[in-house]
């Protein structure tokens, strides 16, 4: 039976092939099963020093030939290699009777533990770099590498792993591997960036469940929507096979024109912005061609801390991003956490249905100090940005008009708000349309806000009553279901009647085959994961609005999601 896992799209493209489960993490040697050194500690230390020198030479060579991004990675790896904490810890292990390779495994595993437990996501992700250095040292100490298996993979392999180091990725060949599915990692991790440079579709954050999968099963990696299909049914397989062929030629042309504006055949300009989940994601914007930020998920600023970030900390974090976007729109979504994403400093009772519980604006209205501080930080930011910049504030998980009016009342009390909130001013307020109730009441919301942003990930899960993180029902929650399309259409109509722009920022916006349908439904702007910006801009340039409207009208008449999919295919 077909199984679908949902994760974060990190490198666009479609891979159709067979699963290969890769589990190479170096194991810490068991304290009671240590190899007795055949040589003296001095000889083991000498072996380590020789291996260290060889790895250093190797990294120096690699950083000289790679592009600047790769050079930076290898530079970081050289720093880790020479870090005194690492070498002292290896020396201590050798003095305690471990061999050089055991001491290396022990020392690097200890460091990985420390880094993985750090609250700063940036430092936590350095654990992968430490694993990389460990792998390189062990090759020189033992002459064997688990990553060697990546050299000899059969054609059409879909690689499944917890995470991959740059060392692992260096062993991959895009002639045998057609896609990567990772249980952990992030779109900004080195692995994701390297996969993009190799042109390999990659999905990350699929969850630990994928490491239990059996190898050799047929599968599909959808690096655009972030889905892994295992044992796909015939219909899914056929549609992805076709999509893969189309995408290949499409991508080449799209990337060549990523910095040109996205204007339809008949002259409609459609800004394509980026969805950003962390501080590091912003680094991807300049090369992506994105027209600003369409969704900053601010959760990363609030999680893994013992107290909420102060107004000052928030202003600094937002300013750092705004500085990268001269003349662009910067959309910041208010904190969207709830029962499924706990934070230490908030009492959040366990909920049996966290997605239906105290989430997003519901939580912020229960904890108004959090809302006031975030609004204050955004008002202060809007006061200092150049007049060409616009700060858009997006209110998440709204289901009632009264919730929005309460937020607007609280905003009115914030210091200096009058300096920035006036018609045409630098601070705009918008509402996420991601609960069916909000779409149904869109005309009422439209008169209160400056823009709408449709969150199709949640809108689909709530419309179809299918939990977006439950892989058993994830396929039910397709955003192409006509019920979801009707709600998108209603929202666009309400936006047009009130003269406010409507954006889609859910994952469906990143699929270029859906672009004409969304524009035909009346969507005016798109916000997508950075790897998809070039593809979506290219799709906009190929869209004729008269045809797109006909396509949308036909899709709204469909009874089933597969009929909509069939229409999209005919449209190509
Ligand atoms: C959405 O729901 O579509 C959305 C963009 O928000 P998130 O995925 O962060 O819930
Ligand atoms: Mg959402």
As a dihedral over the C-alpha atoms of residue 524, residue 529, residue 535, residue 537, rounded to 10 degrees, the angle is 30
Cα–Cα distance between 411 and 417 in angstroms, integer? 7
Third-level CATH fold of 3-23+149-250: Glucose Oxidase; domain 1 (3.50.30)
Domain 36-142 bears CATH identifier 1.10.10.10: no
- pLDDT, tens digit, 9 for 90 and up, residues 399-436: 999 999 999 999 999 999 999 999 999 999 999 999 99
Domain limits, CATH 3.20.20.60, in the chain:
268-571
Nearest CA to ligand 1 atom 3: 455
Residue bearing the bigger pLDDT, 112 or 546? 546
Atom of ligand 1 nearest to the CA of 396: 6
Measure 337 CA to ligand 2 centroid, in angstroms.
10
Of all atoms in ligand 1, which is nearest to the CA of residue 454?
3
Angstrom distance (rounded) from CA 3 to CA 87: 45
Ligand 2 centroid vs 282 CA: distance in angstroms?
Answer: 20
Q: Are 10 and 185 in contact (CB under 8 A)?
A: yes
Task: Specify the pLDDT at position 295.
Answer: 96
Q: Assign 3-class secondary structure to 368-398.
A: HHHHHHHHHHHHHHHHHCCCCCEEEEEECCC
Q: Whose CA is nearest to atom 4 of ligand 1?
A: 455
Q: Determine phi and psi for 203, rounding to 5 degrees.
A: -120, 135
Q: For residue 456, which atom of ligand 1 is closest to its CA?
A: 3
Output the six-digit token pair for 169.
């990725």
- Compute the distance between CA of residue 548 and CA of residue 550 in angstroms, rounded to an integer: 5
pLDDT of residue 290: 96
Give the confidence band of 34 by pLDDT, cuts at 50, 70, 90. Answer: very low
Which listed ligand is nearest to 398 at the C-alpha?
Answer: 2
Q: What is d(CA 484, CA 455) in angstroms, rounded to the nearest whole number?
A: 11
182 Cα: distance to centroid of ligand 1 (angstroms): 21
> Averaging pLDDT over each range in 158-172, 205-219, 315-329, 542-556, which range is the top one?
542-556
Q: What is the mean pLDDT of the chain?
A: 88
Q: What is the pLDDT of residue 144?
A: 62
In contact, 446 and 452? CB cutoff 8 Å: yes
- pTM across the whole model: 0.73
Q: What confidence tens digit (pLDDT) does each residue in 223-278 have?
A: 988 899 999 999 999 999 988 888 888 888 998 999 999 999 999 999 999 999 88
Query: Which ligand has an atom closest to residue 341 CA?
Result: 1
505 is catalytic: yes
Higher pLDDT, 532 or 174: 532
Which residue among the candidates 3, 190, 204, 492 is catalytic per the annotation?
Answer: 190
Q: Which residue has the higher pLDDT, 379 or 338?
A: 379
* Separation CA 265–CA 570 (nearest Å): 19
pLDDT band at 70 (very low <50, low <70, confident <90, very high): low
- The answer on pLDDT for 65 being more than 80 is no
Q: How far is CA 300 from CA 204, 215, 317, 506, 564, in A?
A: 17, 34, 11, 18, 36
pLDDT tens string 91-149: 999 999 999 989 999 999 888 888 877 655 566 667 888 888 888 888 888 766 666 67
Q: What's the rounded Cα separation, in Å, for the pair 560 and 537? A: 28
> What is the per-residue burial (b if ≥16 Cβ within 10 Å, else e) of 474-508?
bbbbbbbbbebbebbbbbbbbbeebebbbbbbbbb
Residue 470's contacts (CB-CB under 8 Å, 6 or more residues apart) are none
Model confidence over 321-340: pLDDT tens digits?
A: 998 888 899 999 999 987 56
Residues with CB under 5 A from ligand 2 (ion): 434, 455, 458
Query: Ligand 2: distance of its center to the CA of 298 in Å?
Result: 12
How far, in Å, is the centroid of ligand 2 from the Cα of 455? 5
Q: What are the strands of the beta sheet with 218-222, ordered from one edge?
A: 3-6, 227-230, 218-222, 14-22, 157-161, 177-182, 202-204, 8-11
Interhelix angle 482-498/561-571, rounded to 10 degrees, is 70
Q: Where are the alpha helices (DSSP H) in 150-210?
A: 166-170, 190-198
Mutate to test the pocket of ligand 1, among 297, 340, 464 (most ligand atoms within 8 A of CB): 297
pLDDT of amino acid 30: 44
pLDDT of residue 507: 85
Beta bridge partners of 395: 431
* C-alpha 143 – ligand 1 centre gap (Å): 47
Mutate to test the pocket of ligand 1, among 458, 461, 532 (most ligand atoms within 8 A of CB): 458
Which CATH homologous superfamily contains domain 268-571?
Answer: Phosphoenolpyruvate-binding domains (3.20.20.60)
CATH 3.50.30.10 location in the chain = 3-23+149-250
| Predicted confidence band of residue 88 (pLDDT cuts 50, 70, 90) | very high
Helices (H) and strands (E) in the chain, counts: 24, 16
Nearest-atom index, ligand 1, CA of 275 = 5
CATH code 1.10.274.10 region(s) in the chain: 36-142
Q: Which residues line ligand 1 (CB under 6 A)?
A: 295, 297, 336, 434, 455-458, 505-506
Q: How far is the CA of 436 from the centre of ligand 1 (A)?
A: 14
Ligand 1 pocket mutation, candidates 227, 395, 455, 462, criterion most atoms within 8 A of CB: 455
* Averaged pLDDT for residues 375-382: 98
- CB neighbour burial string for 409-436, b if at least 16 within 10 angstroms, e if fewer: eebeebeebeebbeeebbbbbbbbbbbb
Nearest ligand atom owner, CA of 340:
1
Structure-block tokens of residue 349: 């009772």
């Amino acid at each position: 039976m077909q199984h679908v896992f949902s994760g974060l799209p990190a490198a666009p493209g479609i891979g159709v092939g067979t699963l290969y489960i890769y589990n190479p993490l170096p194991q810490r040697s068991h304290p009671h099963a240590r190899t007795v050194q055949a040589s003296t500690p001095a000889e083991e230390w000498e072996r380590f020093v020789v291996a260290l020198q060889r790895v250093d030479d190797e990294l120096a060579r690699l950083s000289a030939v790679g592009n600047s991004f790769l050079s930076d990675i290898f530079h970081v790896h050289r720093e880790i290699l020479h870090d005194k904490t690492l070498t002292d810890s290896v020396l201590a292990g050798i003095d305690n009777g471990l061999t050089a390779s055991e001491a290396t495994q022990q020392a690097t595993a200890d460091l990985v533990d420390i880094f993985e437990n750090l609250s700063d996501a940036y430092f936590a992700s350095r654990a992968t770099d430490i694993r990389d250095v460990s792998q390189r040292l062990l090759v020189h100490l033992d002459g064997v590498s688990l990553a060697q298996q990546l050299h000899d993979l059969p054609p059409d392999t879909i690689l499944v792993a917890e995470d991959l180091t740059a060392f692992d990725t260096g062993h991959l060949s895009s002639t045998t591997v057609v896609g990567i599915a990772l249980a952990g990692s992030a779109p900004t991790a080195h692995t994701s960036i390297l996969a993009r440079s190799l042109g390999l579709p990659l999905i990350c954050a699929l969850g630990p469940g994928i490491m239990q999968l059996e190898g050799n099963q047929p599968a599909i990696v959808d690096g655009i929507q972030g889905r892994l299909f295992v044992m796909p049914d015939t219909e899914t397989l056929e549609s992805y096979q076709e999509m893969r062929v189309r995408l290949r030629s499409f991508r080449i042309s799209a990337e060549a024109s990523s910095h040109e504006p996205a204007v339809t055949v008949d002259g409609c300009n459609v800004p394509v912005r980026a969805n950003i989940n962390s501080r590091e994601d912003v680094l991807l914007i300049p090369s992506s061609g994105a027209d600003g930020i369409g969704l900053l998920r601010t959760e990363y600023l609030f999680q893994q801390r013992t107290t909420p970030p102060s107004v000052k900390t928030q202003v600094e974090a937002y300013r750092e991003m705004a500085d990268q976007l001269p003349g662009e729109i910067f959309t910041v979504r208010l904190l969207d956490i709830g029962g499924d994403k706990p934070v230490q400093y908030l009492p959040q009772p366990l909920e049996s249905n966290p997605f239906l519980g105290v989430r997003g604006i519901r939580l912020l209205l229960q904890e108004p100090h959090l809302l006031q501080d975030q609004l204050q930080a955004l008002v202060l930011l809007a006061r200092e940005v150049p007049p060409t910049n616009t700060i858009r504030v997006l209110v998440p998980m709204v289901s009632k008009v009264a919730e929005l009016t309460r937020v607007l009342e609280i905003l009115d009390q914030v210091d200096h708000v009058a300096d920035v909130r006036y018609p045409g001013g630098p601070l705009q307020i918008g509402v996420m349309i991601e609960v069916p109730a909000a779409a149904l009441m869109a005309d009422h919301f439209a008169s209160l806000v400056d823009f709408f942003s449709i969150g199709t990930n949640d809108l689909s899960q709530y419309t179809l009553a299918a939990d977006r993180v439950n892989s058993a029902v994830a396929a039910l929650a397709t955003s192409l279901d006509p019920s979801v399309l009707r709600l998108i259409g209603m929202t666009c109509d309400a936006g047009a009647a009130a003269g406010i722009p409507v954006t889609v920022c859910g994952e469906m916006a990143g699929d270029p085959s859906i672009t004409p349908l969304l524009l035909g439904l009346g969507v005016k702007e798109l916000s997508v994961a950075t790897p998809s910006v070039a593809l979506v801009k290219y799709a906009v340039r190929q869209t004729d609005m008269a045809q797109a409207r006909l396509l949308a009208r036909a899709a709204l008449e469909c009874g089933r999601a597969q009929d909509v999919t069939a229409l999209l295919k005919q449209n190509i």
